[in-house]
Amino acid sequence: MTFTDRTCVVTGASRGIGRGIAEELGSQGANVVVNYHYSTDAAEEAAAAVEEAGGDAIAVQADVTDRDDVATMAERTHETFGPVDVLVNNAGITQDTKFESMSRDDWDRVIDVNLSGAFNTTKAFFSDVKSAEDGRLINISSVIGKQGNYGQANYAAAKSGLFGLTRSLALELASHESTANVVAPGYTKTDMIEGVREDIKDRIREGIPLDRFAEIEEIACVVRFLASEDASYVTGEVIDVNGAMDL
């Protein structure tokens, strides 16, 4: 399973799950565009890690909510690597608060990044993915998009919205033999979860039948499979990687 000469864009790839995905694709020989918003140093480190893993990489700054930024990212990607074969929409944020306290800004910001951001980047690279041999669109959602969560109405709505977007695009891409799928992780060992108090982490683990958090690599390898030729007959699916949280 090789990705040599295949170009992959991963949004929100300077750290966490996004960086893990970028490194995993790089380890298969891919050209990887490491997209980031603010963290220039972290993005450059991620790009270097991709190259150490065996791929080629560039770090490209773009706010996925800004269509001009996304257009510039697409232009730079095309100039460096040519058309895109794989787009992984991973960029996301949280702004948690109870719904009765949630401002319209809290709502808009999370929807703009997590859902409209995926629209913007998909719009920019859709013709590439559609025209590619084994084109792949992979959206990173969350178990929260399936279950909901207290204080996360905005995040749950955005992540759930990716299900409908992806399934609709899977139908549009099917006649071109390109695919669209969702990966929906559960709680994963990222900086975000590491910053949570131990007693709260213990309560979260109680709701996970496998009794542990996912490793970033366990998410990344599922993305790698969906991006590969081996997944050519998998499309329109939501792949759960959550330790059986929603069974």
Instruction: Give the tens place of pLDDT for each residue, 77-115.
Output: 999 999 999 999 999 999 999 999 999 999 999 999 999
Give a yes or no: residue 200 inside a domain: no
Counting the structural domains of the chain, the total is: 1
Residue-wise pLDDT for 16-43, tens only, equals 999 999 999 999 999 999 999 999 999 9
Structure tokens at 52: 């150490």
Asked if the model's pLDDT at residue 1 lies above 80, the reply is no
Query: Tokens representing 11?
Result: 């949004």
pLDDT per position as a tens digit, 132-169? 999 999 999 999 999 999 999 999 999 999 999 999 99
User: What CATH number is given to the structural domain containing 127?
Assistant: 3.40.50.720
Q: Would you please indicate which residues are annotated as catalytic (active-site) residues? A: 155
Cβ atoms within 10 A of the Cβ of 212, count?
Answer: 11
**Does the residue 2 lie in any domain?**
no
Q: In 3-state terms, what secondary structure has residue 235?
A: coil
What per-residue confidence (pLDDT) applies to 192? 82
Give the tens place of pLDDT for each residue, 175-230: 999 999 999 999 999 988 888 899 999 999 999 999 999 999 999 999 999 999 99
Q: What sections of 28-176 are H helices per DSSP?
A: 40-53, 67-81, 104-111, 117-131, 144-147, 153-174
- State residue 161 phi and psi, 5-degree precision: -60, -30
* pTM attached to this predicted model: 0.97
Task: Give the closest residue to 215 by CA, choosing from 246, 187, 182.
Answer: 187
Taking alpha carbons only, the member of 88, 124, 94, 120 closest to residue 109 is: 94
Q: Is residue 44 part of a domain?
A: yes
DSSP state of 56: E
Q: Which domain holds residue 174?
A: 7-189+216-234
Whether residue 120 is contained in a domain is answered as yes
On whether residue 1 sits in a domain, the answer given is no
Which percentage of the chain shows pLDDT scores above 70?
Answer: 100
Q: Answer whether residue 153 is part of any domain.
A: yes
Mean pLDDT, the chain, rounded, equals 97
